[in-house]
Structure 1
Amino acid sequence: MTERPARAIMASLRIILTVLTTAVITFGYLSVTAEAQERPRRNLFDMLFGTREPDYPDQPEQPPPQRKSQPRKRPTPPPRQPVAVQPQTPPAAEKLQDAKTILVVGDFLASGLGTGLEDAFSTSPGIVIQARGNVASGLVRQDYYNWPEQLTGMMDQLKPAMVVVMLGANDRQPIIGDGLNEKYGTDPWFIAYEERVQQFAKLVTNRHIPLIWVGLPPFGSDQLTASAVKLNHLYQSQMAAVGGEFVDIWDGFTNQSGEFIVTGSDINGQQVRLRTADGVNMTAAGKRKIAFYVEKPARRLLGNQASPDITRLDTGSPLPAQPASLPGAEPEKITSTPPMSFSDPELDGGSQLLGAAPAPASTAVSPRDLLVDKGQMTPAPAGRVDDYRLPATPTATP
């Protein structure tokens, strides 16, 4: 019984030993095969003369890459804002003692108009601007400022050669007084206001003083703009009735669609701000633009006195004495002249009329006649480019 287990153990050991031996042999064979594959094959020359290793030239050492220094960027200065070049205004001319006065009356818009007219006529020595505006005045509240009374006193004092009126911006309110209590916008209100405008204008035209009534501009408020349109129609019709001149400035303060604008073209065509932030008042450019509309009819009505070229003649230096006229012979008294015909040749110094005698006939044949009649051309002058004649060769003398 004990021999069987011992045999079994021995058999197991033989199997294990066989497996290990096979594994070792297999691993060794694979290692030798791999080494043989890696080892280069030697031929007969290698065995006789040895293996020649290729002699490669030494690679030069590459210098370490140098870091490129980038140029330092200079800080760019901030862009300069364009500076608007204001045109040089000519110096104001000294006014003449007999200069004519333009009286400007009205509300706050008239005060700005007066400033613009002073600039417009600064180079005209024959014109003086007198602006007498009241900021909150109008033709409705005569209890606050009575324009008919004030205008009469101003004309008596200043003796103006022209009156310029710009009113109506403060008149959107009821008319109260003189038995009236009419709400703005009603038909009775417009009838009463029309009468006041006519009476006010006649204070000027009855004195035979030129009158210019300046229309209202559009405003930022739609209600104010609608009222300005109605009042401008009223002013224009009344000026035609009393003999005044109405100046329409509406297009200068609207765009192509007829809408209110804050920025627009000034008198030089530059885009500037014309109105203030409230949409009612004018900037300096806006005041000058209103004056631009008034300047042309004013110069036309005042004539040469408004010209900037007028000069003073009363310089104080007496004129040089005129030389006495020399005595001359007494001219002969002509009582009558002989009749003279318009066809008389003596008028131009000739003795006969043109065409009276035929032109003298010529016997010479002209180049034209020679070409037309015979088809021949006159010989070219000697030396001209079309002279094809050979120069004459001198003959040798024997």
Structure 2
Amino acid sequence: MFVATLAIAFLLGDMAPPFQVPVAHAQEIKERRSIIDFFFGGRKKRKQDVTDTKPRKKKPRNRNSVQSVTTADAPGTVEKLPDARKVIVVGDFMASALADGLVTAFATDPNIVIEKKTDGSSGLARTDHLDWPATLSTYIEEIKPKVVVVMLGANDRQQIAIAGTKEKFQSDAWKNEYQKRIDKLLEVARSRQVPIIWTGLPSFQSNSLSTDAAALNNIYRSRVEMTGATFIDIWDGFADEDGKFIATGSDINGQPVRLRGSDGLSLTRAGKRKMAFYLEKSIRSLADVATMPAIALPGTTDTPAEAVKAAPDIADIKVVPPVNLADPELDGSTALLDDALIPKSSGNSPRDRLIEKGETVDAPVGRVDDFAIRPATPPKVEPAG
């Protein structure tokens, strides 16, 4: 009777169960039984463990913030000299890839420091997001760079607001305003006597985007070269012989590698390094840095002072004795070019005869390609002595 009463009370909810079921065992994943389970038995039920761990909150990432990275942050970088030349890289997300390649390129050079000041969403079409002329002016005043590297245009395939109206991409009004903004950015560096290198855009997987990039490169080249700045075209390094996009090509060592990402926009590590390869020589030249560091030859440090003093100073040589061209006496001849030493010929080389007249030159007698048929020469018979 007591057991029956207890069971009825439990079912009606008036009493709590006399035992507690663990939470992990209480929350079982219920799976639907299939016909295979009906004939061959049920499968073991999977149990879901319940933990009290709280999910970690991810910090929001500001994609529009300007990235600031220096060459000193790269792994394997040598210590930079106190008077190392600073190079600023500004622009959009393509400029960010270029800066990464330059950081790798000059990681072992103590004379050059790369300052990465890029904004992936920036451009010249919209000044409400970021005004590059004003921003570049601030960077030049703070960092005092020797060279400024610019790469823009990947985000500029959009309308431009002019006096309250929006002009379509590549319209006449759009081009005129865009050229003015390029000139304004170039004027910031020119007024402060800082050389600027403008890098052109590479090809892209999208045909329309590549076409627009090529049109923008023509605008950049004309405006940059007009002001005397340096424009570097990298298109051929990321395109085939027809000028079309390639995802795989040769790296700076000539080895086939993947240069572009699967999205057709981004660049791989090898692609970034190849893009920087086009700028290395110009950066060293404008930054007044030797292409290769000076290498001390063996024994040069032990050269006697008397030998150094005895060496002629080329800067002091102003007059040299004349050279008699009629009798140089360099090869035993009595003239500059002895006519007797010139081989007599018709004046037409075998190449000229083959291309101009279609004639082939007879092979020398006895050579493997000498197929001429000649009469047999009877052997000489020595008279009996």
TM-score range, shorter chain: 0.5 to 0.7
> In structure 2, what is the equivalent of residue 94 of structure 1?
79
Kindly provide the CA deviation profile for residues 237-282 of structure 1, in whole angstroms up to 9, marking residues without a partner as x: 1111112100000000011122110000011111111011110111
The question of whether the paired residues in 2 share the 8 Å contact of 1:173 and 1:183 is answered with yes
The answer for the alignment partner of 1:238 in structure 2 is: 223
Report whether the alignment pairs 1:274 with 2:283.
no
1:264 equivalent in alignment to 2:279? no
1:92-131 aligned at under 5 Å gives the runs 92-131=77-116
In structure 2, the residue corresponding to 1:104 is in which secondary structure? Answer: strand
Secondary structure, aligned partner of 1:287? helix
Secondary structure at the residue paired with 1:154?
A: helix
2 CA distance for matches of 1:118 and 1:198?
28
Query: In the TM superposition, what is the alpha-carbon distance from 1:92 to its structure 2 partner?
Result: 2.7
Greater C-alpha Rg: 1
Q: Which residue of structure 1 lines up, in the alignment, with residue 135 of structure 2? A: 150
Q: State the distance in 1 between where 2:210 and 2:277 align.
A: 22
CA contact (8 A) 2:151 2:201 kept: yes
How far apart are the structure 1 equivalents of 2:165 and 2:269? 39
Q: Is the 8 A contact 2:124 2:132 kept in 1?
A: yes
TM-superposed deviation, 1:93: 2.0
Tell whether the 8 Å contact from 2:259 to 2:271 is kept in structure 1 after alignment: yes
State the distance in 2 between where 1:310 and 1:224 align: 47
SS class of match (2:110):
coil
Distance apart, 1:307 and its partner CA: 4.6
Cα deviation, 1:320-362, whole Å, max 9, x if unaligned, reads xxxxxxxxxxxxxxxxxxxxxx9xxxxxxxxxxxxxxxxxxxx
After TM superposition, give the deviation of residue 90 of structure 1 in Å.
11
Instruction: Give the Cα separation in 1 of the matches to 2:242 and 2:166.
Output: 38
When residues 153 and 305 of structure 1 are mapped into structure 2, their CA distance, relative to the original with a 3 A threshold, is farther
User: Alignment partner of 1:164: what SS?
Assistant: strand
Residue by residue, what CA displacement relative to the aligned partner does 1:66-90 show, whole Å, maximum 9, x if unpaired? xxxxxxxxxxxxxxxxxxxxxxx99
Aligned partner of 1:186 among 167, 171, 185: 171
Structure 1 segments of 4 or more deviating over 4 A? 305-311
Q: Offset of 1:219 from its aligned partner? A: 0.5
1:304 is aligned to 2:303:
no
Give the whole-Å Cα distance in 1 for the aligned partners of 2:114 and 2:107: 9
- 8 Å contact kept, 1:100–1:305: no
2:228 paired with 1:248: no
Give unmatched runs, 5+ long, in structure 2. 1-73, 297-320, 322-385
Quote the Cα distance in structure 1 between the aligned partners of 2:200 and 2:139: 22
Q: Deviations over 1:1-60 (max 9, x none)?
A: xxxxxxxxxxxxxxxxxxxxxxxxxxxxxxxxxxxxxxxxxxxxxxxxxxxxxxxxxxxx
What is the root-mean-square deviation in Å for CA atoms of aligned residues? 2.1
TM-score (structure 1 length as normaliser): 0.54
Distance 2:295 2:180 in 1: 41
1:94-119, CA deviations, whole angstroms, 9 ceiling, x for partnerless residues? Answer: 10111110000000011111111111
Letter aligned with residue 151 of structure 1:
L
| Contact preservation (8 Å) 1:127, 1:306 | no
**Equivalent position SS for 1:296:** helix
Residues 150 and 306 (structure 1), Cα distance of their counterparts in 2 relative to 1, 3 Å cut: farther
Q: Contact 1:148 / 1:203 at 8 angstroms: preserved in 2? A: yes
One-letter identity of the residue aligned with 1:167: L
Aligned length: 224
> Could you tell me which residue of structure 1 aligns to residue 335 of structure 2?
none
Question: What SS is found at the alignment partner of 2:116?
Answer: strand
Percent identity over the alignment? 48
Change in CA separation of 1:238 and 1:180 when aligned onto 2, cut-off 3 Å: farther
Normalising to structure 2: TM-score of the pair?
A: 0.56
C-alpha distance in structure 1 between counterparts of 2:150 and 2:82, whole Å:
25
Asked if residue 171 in structure 1 is aligned to residue 171 in structure 2, the reply is: no
Report the secondary structure of 1:128's partner residue: strand
- Asked whether the equivalents of residues 281 and 291 of structure 2 are also in contact (C-alpha less than 8 Å), the reply is no
Alpha-carbon contact 1:217-1:228 (below 8 Å) kept: yes
Q: Distance in 1 between matches of 2:153 and 2:131?
A: 14
Q: What SS does the corresponding residue of 1:101 show, helix, strand or coil?
A: strand
Q: Report the CA distance between 1:306 and its aligned residue.
A: 6.2
Q: Does 1:201 align with 2:186?
A: yes
Corresponding residue number in structure 2 for 1:215 = 200
Q: Does 1:132 align with 2:110?
A: no
Summarize the Cα distance change of 1:226–1:286 in structure 2 as closer, same or farther, 3 Å threshold: same
CA distance in 2, matches of 1:151, 1:192: 19
Corresponding residue SS for 2:192: coil
Deviation at residue 177 of structure 1 after TM alignment: 4.7
Residue deviations 1:275-325 (CA, integer Å, cap 9, x gap): 1111011111111111000111111222236654599xxxxxxxxxxxxxx
How far residue 179 of structure 1 moved from its aligned partner, in angstroms, is: 3.8
